[in-house]
Amino acid sequence: MVCKNVPVWERVVRVMMGVMMIAGGLMVWKGSWMGYGAAAAGAMMIGTGMMGFCPMCAIGGRTLPGK
């Protein structure tokens, strides 16, 4: 089991922002490397939101309160 280091409210925000990044990247920058980059970053945000674990936060030493 992966140790979660992202609170629930932030997980919801990450998923919503990820969806917006994918949609924006594929609609605004159609077929360009910037559009695909934004979509990939959005997919990463959705992944960290769904799992509740962010590797960059773990490197910084972030943990959930009470854990």
pLDDT digits over 29-60, tens only? 988 999 999 999 999 999 999 999 999 998 99
Structure tokens belonging to residue 2: 């992966």
Helical spans, DSSP H, in the chain: 8-28, 33-51, 55-59
Distance (Å, whole) CA 6 – CA 42: 17
Has residue 67 got a pLDDT over 90?
no
* pLDDT above 90 coverage of the chain, percent: 78
* Domain boundaries, given as residue ranges, for the chain: 8-59
Has residue 2 got a pLDDT over 90?
no
Assign 1 a pLDDT band (cuts: 50, 70, 90): low
pLDDT for position 44: 96
